[in-house]
Structure 1
């Protein structure tokens, strides 16, 4: 069937001219009905075209399509790939965590592309103007719906799709690699039999042979990597010698580079003829690569690919691999989910990887099957070969996976408490009956019906009821005698920041402490359940001990390591022993610090929030206490902040007063200095006018005064607190844009010679130091 005959107005949106057998069979159900669709098919059989057909139907009806991709890296690929829709006059917009959301572009887009996590965030905030676009979606296309079975991300996808269906019930088109229990997914999504498609291995364009190969596990993990590498090269060698290609999956970006280096030496040793030394054009093209190691490697026929490479380098590697110029390619698993780069032979060298937050972790069965599915080049090979290299102890597990496949399970049970709280926080659940109705919309409920013994279906409702009672007891949810339920401030904050509920409990407890310190803020974040799986290696213990020397902390193991990294990060002095995990840990900590700041603002007040905000800025920028306020100036990062602080300029006000000349003396160019001074003027600058405040008051006398607090420049939300002799008299929070007055009572106590009044202004949302003004009154 010609594309131009099936969808004439969208023929240019496809990268080919004719649909294959699988696509032809699914096409009527997608184009000629409005039913929900579930289609499973082998990897590389052309499922992307089914997604594009669903999008075409939606666009033809003036609707909006939402495409949920399994990885953030793939959202950018789709944006580039679907410029074909842009050329037809339709707008494609990616909603991802990498870029600031443009609500107007999102609202006007015809095709939205996002990840499960970002779709979850948008649906939680659907009633805000910023995210209202999510409720205008007419069709949701879920790419790789078997992601439901992912321990880390499956529950997010499940509740997001269920929520979208409760909010506006769009059409759902779910695509998947082969899965044995497709009927359960179809039942969950209400896809009828006529639009549930299970395409078996006979639809694979190339037959696939798979197997498991073992290696002798030693005591040295570094040596084990090379044992597995040599095993992988043994498996790839015969195919590469026959002008085939091999794709070897390894566990990390760094490993792709190291494995490629070692493989080049080994290929030379084995005299395997795969280099392109006679191809002068290719040599000249290779010189344009920005990655030095890659540039040296590709002309020897060996390449590597990971998300950390520049886009142009990645594009070139993919193109050269398709052209056969690169014979042996090392990659991370991202490539298995994204770019269609088949190879005659696929080898999974690493079945485990190091996760900074989880320690040593098995790659998921879904990833294994997805990687192996890349074996076999349509049009070139009759058979593809896929191998898993693993320790003997794991061999039977992987053989069973290759033989029987993997049923898709729900992962919601492990996160039921937090996801139920999120639904209540949104206001979509208002009573016990709503809870039960929500439960029945989940894949969890369908799987429990399908496997009642494994999921303990008989007690499922009781467990959900117990979970709800736990949320009420812990203050996340409020309930009355009529079983009406509503979210509390605590529940809303936990949902807003995607916190584990035990972390939200910790944050709430910290707000009750009378005295907060930098260390207590960082310890609370480091103790969060989000860091439970962080592992502290023995080689890191000395570095951790040095950082924490002299500090009294009850934290242990991984949490102690997180505390050390955050403390060292504030001073931009993280030891090399801890740097491999530091970036991921700091990024997660910044999210938690932002949440903690708002918790403290709500439950302890703006002074506590300001401390957390300053700690967050120090962790983010790696600056000293003296320099942190300068990071509030637009365009001032860690380097400039420290340079200004060293010059004695420790606040935006000081920068404005000093002028551009002082900044030039501190080593900045004239244009940069002028720009920073202008930006500093936008920061709030506070003036306190005591007015007719008395210098003295007689014993027993009272006088009511008004103190004016105003912004000389800028504006901000502020907390204003007045104390007398360290006892709080009044406290208020207000958005200060101009002037406000604070009533202050002056009285003459018999037991004091003088009264020290302090007006303190703090900024709960900015890393500025508190502003204090004092006035002393004599008691006569």
Structure 2
């Protein structure tokens, strides 16, 4: 069907002129109905256009569309692709955790693009001005809804859609690769039979032949990796010789590069002709690539693609692969979910991958099917060929996957492998979140909420499902678990969140972690190392593993410290400890970034928990540790990070120039800061922001210099800021013993101080001012009083 006839006002939004057979069959459900729609269809059959049709219908009715993309990298890709909508006068706004949210842009956007995790965050905070835009969504398109079955992300997608439907009841259009139980998803979303589609393999543009290939083990994992590579090349060689193309998926960015290097030599050894070698213009174009290894590789018809490449390099690789100049391309799994880049032959070389947080894990069955679905180039190939290279022990499992597909299950109530408590599931996490939001106020509310989930649909299908009793018991057990660990308070059948429950929900903490953080505040005193240990020992890092070469680097950083920790948490601790000083051993760098980013989120949560249940001094210590991990700065200069606009680069320059505190910068002035490497404008702003931070003055008033033994007098001490204001914890000690404690928002406040002539000959009175929200070291002002006879 011609696009110009179906959607005359939106023809420019589509990169083709006619809808294909699959798309045309779904058009009446999308355009002539208000019902929710579920479409299951083979990979590369054109599901993206169905999403775009749903969006066009929403825009035509002056509504707002939300597109949920499975990966953050794909949200950026949609932003580029959908400049077509911008050209038609509509605004597209991407909301991700890596960008600062502009609430006004989000509110005015016609098309919002988010990941499930960011949508989860937005729906939890829908009643704030910052995220109120989420309540205006009229249509929600779920791309790759079969990710409901994803171990770590499925439950987030599930509860987010359920919450969104309660908030604003948008029309839902769910798209999926082929799945056996599409009717279950339709039942969950209340999509009627006439708007539920299960398109079979006959709708695949190019028929697919998929099979399993095994390999013989070598002496070690390194040798196995190369045996799998040579097996993959054996499978692709015939197609490359026949001027076809091959796409080989490997487990990591580094592996894409190493595999490409080895393959260049192997193609020469096997005397496989590569057309690109004699293309003079291609040689000139390749000279513009930023990546040196890629520049050399593509000239031999071999490319690699991963998220770490510059965008321009990735765009060129994709273009050259489509043009046939690159004949074999090595990639990570991201390419399977995003770019429509088919090949005649697809090989999955690695079915296991290293996850910095989980260690070695099996590739998701959903990822496997998504990758294999890239085989076959419409318009070029009569047939696509796909292979899974695996160990013989896994062969039957993958053959069954290829034959029967993957039934989509809910992960909401699945017990994690590492959980010691069978009730400690995602169900507890998300039920706690709903209680914190006020959605669930009693057991009946909890059951009503559960009935909105995909888990409820799948539970009804289970052979052991008995009325509602089993689910009610599961909910009751989960609620009691939350009560026992002080996330929830229960009065009869009514439930209310505790402060800990709210914090766990707000920071998306695993509940065991939130409980452990709260318990830390029971300690009278804890150190910088204790803070780092608390984070490194969390459930979030429980599955981190350490290789032998990494253990040596860990020992070099930590020495004998924390020797009682397991190797994985000890590795996390070493990365954080080294990062605080701005150095990371080379053996630990591959996992350092992702571990540090997760640790910063946990440190922010720990600071909030400690601030709520502990002391200002404890919160300030966590705040300073967090700033050091983030910026890689010494403890004596960490206060510089409190200045707005001073990030890791600037704080490094300022510390190297000898500055240690915001007061140092104010005293130095803009000229000295400019000499330290800051631009003149930046220096002026830094000094201006430094002046806004609190500068403490203590007025001792009529405080005496002496006191008679046995005498007692009450005096007042005034604490004020001569510059900015901030929340502070105030303490008065005498000879190290605490006398008075007060929390205040400075300004100015007075503290009563009793002076008593006791047995000591001299009394040292100290006023301690601590900022729980700022990484400024505590300020201490002291006054001595001599006891006289």
> 1:619 matched to which residue of 2?
629
Greater CA drift, 666-675 or 96-105: 666-675
1:569-627 Cα offsets, whole Å, 9 max, x none, are 21223222222222211111111111001111110122111100101111112221112
Instruction: Kindly state the Cα deviation for residue 667 of structure 1 after the two structures are TM-superposed.
Output: 6.1
**Structure 2 partner of 1:759:** 767
Report if aligned partners of 1:231, 1:389 keep a CA contact under 8 Å in 2.
yes
Task: Work out the CA distance in 1 between the residues paired with 2:467 and 2:371.
Answer: 33
* Superposition deviation, residue 500 in structure 1: 0.7
Pair 1:536 & 2:549 matched:
no
Structure 2 distance, partners of 1:282, 1:577, is 37
Question: For residues 449 and 516 of structure 1, what CA distance do their matches in structure 2 show?
Answer: 49
- 1:493 equivalent in alignment to 2:499: no
SS in structure 2 at match of 1:775: strand
Find the residue that maps to 2:556 and give its secondary structure.
helix
Where in structure 1 are there 5+ consecutive unaligned residues?
Answer: none
Aligned pair in 2 of structure 1 residues 600, 288: CA closer, same or farther (>3 Å)?
same
**Structure-2 change in CA distance of 1:760 and 1:373 (3 Å):** same
Matches of 1:66 and 1:643, distance apart in 2: 43
Structure 1 residue 463 and structure 2 residue 474: aligned?
Answer: yes
> Which residue does the alignment assign to 2:165?
165
Q: Is this contact kept in 2: 1:188–1:441, CA < 8 A?
A: yes
| Preserved contact between residue 256 and residue 331 of structure 1 (Cα < 8 Å) | yes
How far does residue 484 in structure 1 lie from its aligned partner after superposition?
Answer: 1.4
Cα 1:675–1:701 change in 2 (3 A) is same
User: In structure 1, what is the equivalent of residue 595 of structure 2?
Assistant: 585
Alignment of 1:200 with 2:210, yes or no, is no
The CA distance in 1 between the partners of 2:104 and 2:604, in whole Å, is 26
Secondary structure (helix, strand or coil) at the match of 2:269 reads helix
Listed as ranges, the matches of 1:582-731 within 5 Å are: 582-638=592-648, 640-642=650-652, 644-645=654-655, 647-663=657-673, 673-699=683-709, 702-731=712-741
Corresponding position of 2:98: 98
Q: Which moved more, 1:659-668 or 1:618-627?
A: 659-668
Could you tell me which residue of structure 2 aligns to residue 133 of structure 1?
A: 133
Aligned to 2:344: 344
Task: Judge which range, 198-207 or 756-765, deviates more.
Answer: 756-765
In the TM superposition, what are the counterparts of 1:116-127 in structure 2 within 5 Å? 116-127=116-127
Aligned to 1:626, what secondary structure does the other structure show? helix
Which of 486, 503, 510 is the aligned partner of 2:513?
503
Tell whether the 8 Å contact from 2:740 to 2:753 is kept in structure 1 after alignment.
Answer: no
Equivalent residue runs for 1:427-442 within 5 Å? 427-442=438-453
CA shift in 2, pair 1:728/1:321, >3 Å: same
Where does residue 399 of structure 1 map in the other structure?
399
Q: Gapped runs of 5+ residues in structure 2?
A: 415-425
Alignment of 1:556-595 (within 5 A): 556-595=566-605
Q: Which moved more, 1:384-393 or 1:664-673?
A: 664-673
Please state whether the residue corresponding to 2:727 is helix, strand or coil. Answer: strand
Q: Is the 8 A contact 2:713 2:756 kept in 1?
A: no
Q: Distance in 1 between matches of 2:715 and 2:463?
A: 72
What is the rounded CA distance, in whole Å, between the counterparts of 1:763 and 1:455 in structure 2? Answer: 56
Matched, 1:741 2:727: no
CA 1:205–1:645: 2 relative to 1, 3 Å: closer
Given that 1:629 and 1:651 are in contact with CA atoms closer than 8 Å, whether structure 2 keeps it comes out as yes
**Conservation of the 8 A alpha-carbon contact between 1:452 and 1:458:** no
Structure-2 separation of matches of 1:283 and 1:84: 32
Q: How far apart in 2 are the matches of 1:611 and 1:452?
A: 53
What is the CA distance between 1:721 and its match in structure 2? 2.3
**Higher mean C-alpha deviation, range 271-280 or range 676-685:** 676-685
Asked if the contact 2:432/2:488 (under 8 Å) is kept, the reply is: yes
- 2:420 corresponds in structure 1 to none
1:63 and 2:63 aligned: yes
Deviation at 1:649, TM superposition (A): 2.6
Q: Closer, same or farther in 2 for the Cα pair 1:668/1:91, shift >3 Å? A: closer
Report if the CA contact (8 A) 1:245-1:324 is conserved: yes
Within 2, Cα distance between the matches of 1:371 and 1:616?
A: 39
Give, in angstroms, the shift of residue 689 of structure 1.
Answer: 2.2
For the residues of structure 1 that align with 2:500 and 2:648, how far apart are their CA atoms? 34
Q: Over aligned residues, Cα RMSD in angstroms?
A: 1.9
Aligned-partner SS, 1:580: helix
**Residues 151-182 of structure 1, C-alpha deviations (whole Å, 9 max, x = no match):** 01101101111111122221111000000000
Alpha-carbon offset, residue 701 of structure 1: 5.1
Alignment of 1:12-23 (within 5 A): 12-23=12-23
**Cα separation, 2, equivalents of 1:327 and 1:641:** 47
Give, in angstroms, the shift of residue 767 of structure 1.
Answer: 1.1
Deviates more, 1:683-692 or 1:151-160: 683-692
Judge which range, 401-410 or 770-779, deviates more.
Answer: 770-779
Give the superposition deviation at 1:645.
4.0
Write the distance in 1 (CA, Å) between the matches of 2:237 and 2:15. 33
Show CA shifts across 1:718-768 (max 9, x none): 2222223333333333333xx312232333244344433222221212211
- Aligned-partner SS, 1:550: coil
**Could you tell me how far apart the structure 1 residues matched to 2:62 and 2:713 are?**
70
* Alpha carbons of structure 1 residues 245 and 696: separation in structure 2 relative to 1, 3 Å: same
CA shift, 1:377, in A, is: 0.7
User: How far off is 1:687 after superposition?
Assistant: 2.0
SS for the counterpart of 1:342 is coil
- After superposition, the C-alpha distances for 1:221-248 in whole angstroms (9 at most, x for unaligned) are 1111111111111111111111111111
Paired residues of 2:717 and 2:753 also in contact (CA < 8 A): no
**CA distance in structure 2 between the aligned counterparts of 1:598 and 1:711, rounded to whole angstroms:** 24
Q: Partners in 1 of 2:501 and 2:547 — Cα distance?
A: 36
Secondary structure of 2:636's partner? coil
What CA deviation, in whole Å up to 9, does each residue of 1:22-60 have, x standing for no partner?
Answer: 111111111111101111000111101111111111111
Q: Deviations over 1:165-204 (max 9, x none)?
A: 1222211110000000001101011110010001000111
Aligned pair partner of 2:489 in 455, 471, 478: 478
Change (3 A) 1:388 1:333: same
Q: CA deviation at 1:632?
A: 2.0
Note closer, same or farther for the CA distance 1:139–1:234 as it changes in structure 2 (3 Å cut).
Answer: same
Q: Which residue is 1:410 aligned to?
A: 410
d(CA) in 2 for partners of 1:644 and 1:205?
60
Alignment match, 1:188? 188
| Cα pair 1:275 1:299 within 8 Å, conserved | no
